[in-house]
Structure 1
Amino acid sequence: MIEIYAQQQYEDKFKSGFPLLMSSFIQYTPNTYKEGGFFKLFDTNNTFIAKGYLGKQNKGIGWILSWKEHETIDRNFFMNKLIVALNKRTQYFEDPDTTAFRIFNGEGDGIGGFTIDYFDEYYLFNWYSEGIYTFRDEIIDVFSQLVAYKGIYEKRRSDENGSYVEGKDFVMGEPADFPIMVKENGVKIAVDLEDGPMVGVFLDQREVRKKLRDYYAKNKTLLNTFSYTGVFSVFALMGGAKMTESVDLAKRSTSLTIEQMVINELDYDSQSIVVMDVFDYFNQAKEAGKRFDIVVLDPPSYARSKKNTFSAAKDYADLVGKALDLTEKDGMIIASTNHSGLKREKFWDMIEKGFESRGERALKIESFKLPKDFAIHNQLRESDYLKVFFVKRKK
């Protein structure tokens, strides 16, 4: 276990419970670094602050696990954290209408660097650093003794940029016959846990999709940009939408969107699925005079195509302006970002600037954060990453 010393100006931050070890916050000595190695953190007076493990990812270089000097980080430590997290999700396990949710959310549940999702008796681990992956066997072994499961899968995103690492995703149990059908508030969703870095649905948008279906979709037309597998479109149709248009650059989005519609007994032939760069689509749709009652904007934090580059932190206002060009006068934009570095207030400012670019003023109708199964760490703002606003023109 190596000794690390906090920069004096960040001592109080660590002492108050900040869980992320950042190189700029410490007196960092590179030759002492080892992925998965344990550290003790001290202040400049050589007083113990906390202990944790080293693991480089896009957020930092390690995670604090305990502020108790004599607490042992071992099998029982991991087991206790997992038990507490599982007990907090009891209500989700008991809900027959929702069979896909998060059961362990990294630092929000006490161990930064990995997550676990539940998909109708199948579990998926996501590992975000080589450091946390060194504990992989012990964590999975403990976990497999705590739950009943059909199968366990994993995905490694353990380079410093969080990119997916190709490899065998199946871990143990009974291999699934993909896609498996899960439910979200009664709607069926096809999921594939072996299909690269993503599985077919983003679970953190569950409450947003339910609100769209239950309160806003009836008799409306919906444009779903960056549509991926078209799940927003499915929820709109299940809520009585007249028509949806789903737009995504990936060619496979067509078959995946059709699949989601078919399993919910929706007529996909009556819907529009467009394979195109979203920014090119905006230009063509504006020229064609297309208008929609609801426009969903849920882009990745960063996106790059042959002709366009998008950064949520820089370009979201422009995206909102382009969406307004395709929105009916009394229509609504669902503006969303998962950019952890973009503050909620700043994101709203960008939405307002997008409206102002078209001579309009933004009216906030509803807003959403992460659902409760995505536990956040109160001392780490970036862990509360999801920001969603339902917005209309102010009259």
Structure 2
Amino acid sequence: MQREWLSPPEPVWGEARPEIVALEGGVPFLFRPGADLSIGLFADARPLRAWVREQEPAGQLLNAFAYTCGFGVMGTLAGYQVKNIDLSRKVLAWGQANYALSGLADPDQDFLYGDVFDWLRRLKKRGERFDLVVLDPPSFARSQRGVWRAERDYAALAGEAAALLTPQGRLLAVTNHAGISAAALSRMVGSGLAAAGRQGQFQLSLGPGPDWPGATHLRAQVWS
């Protein structure tokens, strides 16, 4: 019953439509309203995507746990060369459709299918480095590696990502785990950066913005 309440099978207003295109800051994205809870873009992260779009283009951006590549689209529009990683081929194809809506090139080599940890290590071995890395992992997930828990494993993830940063590169660390405080996220990200041999510098915090008053489930921090 609770799942039906969160994602009703029929629209509560208007006719059912399998796909719609909506604008975020003038940028078109493809939504699939009947696709359970994952309809194409998480609205609470809109200020985070806007921040990425506002950055001066500075080379390479890595978008980990890309989902439908919202960060990738905004980064490409800002002038970055972007690589998107996700464990689902379906959402990466959805991301390529979002690129196409903005008339952006979407070569397959920029949409990397597979485990994020595996790809982080492969990219490191290749010698690839990034000026901005976006980490937006789930709070909990199962994979062939085992069980991922953000409250336990975020520091290790941040360390793997930090190893791919250029000397002046920045890390945008995001979590939607309501149980992780801003201080806890800072400790984990700082620990990960230190493990990667970086003297991490906290730069700013971002959140869900005025559309979500009082919300504390989404936290984002920029580190260098």
Give yes or no for TM over 0.5: yes
In 1, the alpha carbon distance for the partners of 2:108 and 2:116 equals: 21
In 1, the alpha carbon distance for the partners of 2:157 and 2:146 equals: 12
Instruction: Say whether 1:156 aligns with 2:26.
Output: no
Q: Which residue of 1 aligns with 2:14?
A: 173
TM-score, normalization: structure 1? 0.54
- Which of the pair has more CA radius of gyration? 1
In 2, the alpha carbon distance for the partners of 1:227 and 1:304 equals: 17
Q: Which residue of 1 aligns with 2:73?
A: 234
Q: Does the aligned pair in 2 maintain the 1:248–1:275 contact within 8 Å?
A: yes
Letter in 2 for 1:322: E
Out of 138, 157, 177, the position equivalent to 1:319 is 157
Q: Which residue of 2 aligns with 1:369?
A: 207
Q: Does the aligned pair in 2 maintain the 1:244–1:271 contact within 8 Å?
A: no
Cα deviation 1:230-252 (Å, max 9, x = unaligned): 110000111111x1110000120
Shift, 1:288, TM fit:
1.6
Out of 224, 233, 236, the position equivalent to 2:63 is 224
Instruction: Map 1:22-61 to 2 at 5 A.
Output: none
In 1, the alpha carbon distance for the partners of 2:154 and 2:209 equals: 23
Shift, 1:276, TM fit:
0.4
Out of 261, 265, 269, the position equivalent to 2:99 is 261
Greater displacement, 266-275 / 206-215: 266-275
Letter in 1 for 2:212: F
Q: 1:365 to 1:198 in 2, by over 3 A?
A: same
Which structure has the highest helix share of the two? 2
SS at match of 1:268: coil
SS at match of 1:347: helix
Q: Which residue of 1 aligns with 2:219?
A: 387
Cα deviation 1:96-117 (Å, max 9, x = unaligned): xxxxxxxxxxxxxxxxxxxxxx
Q: Which residue of 2 aligns with 1:148?
A: none
- CA RMSD, aligned part only? 1.9
Q: Does the aligned pair in 2 maintain the 1:367–1:387 contact within 8 Å?
A: yes
In 2, the alpha carbon distance for the partners of 1:169 and 1:271 equals: 37
Instruction: Say whether 1:357 aligns with 2:195.
Output: yes
In 2, the alpha carbon distance for the partners of 1:335 and 1:292 equals: 14
Q: Does the aligned pair in 2 maintain the 1:224–1:297 contact within 8 Å?
A: yes
Greater displacement, 356-365 / 254-263: 356-365
Shift, 1:374, TM fit:
0.9
Q: Which residue of 1 aligns with 2:119?
A: 281
Out of 117, 130, 144, the position equivalent to 1:306 is 144
Structure 1 outlier segments of 4+, above 6 Å = none
In 2, the alpha carbon distance for the partners of 1:171 and 1:181 equals: 18
Q: How many residues align?
A: 224
In 1, the alpha carbon distance for the partners of 2:108 and 2:14 equals: 40
Q: Does the aligned pair in 2 maintain the 1:220–1:293 contact within 8 Å?
A: yes
Q: Which residue of 2 aligns with 1:201?
A: 41
Residue segments in structure 2 that go unaligned for 5+ positions in a row: none
Q: 1:364 to 1:291 in 2, by over 3 A?
A: same
Shift, 1:201, TM fit:
0.3
TM-score, normalization: structure 2? 0.93
Structure with bigger RCO (C-alpha 8 Å, 6+ apart): 2
SS at match of 1:201: coil
Q: 1:270 to 1:307 in 2, by over 3 A?
A: closer
Instruction: Say whether 1:348 aligns with 2:186.
Output: yes
Q: Does the aligned pair in 1 maintain the 2:58–2:131 contact within 8 Å?
A: no
Cα deviation 1:238-278 (Å, max 9, x = unaligned): 1111x111000012023101100000111112860011011
SS at match of 2:188: helix
Cα deviation 1:182-202 (Å, max 9, x = unaligned): 111111111111112211001
In 2, the alpha carbon distance for the partners of 1:303 and 1:270 equals: 25
SS at match of 2:193: helix
In 2, the alpha carbon distance for the partners of 1:325 and 1:359 equals: 8
Shift, 1:220, TM fit:
2.2
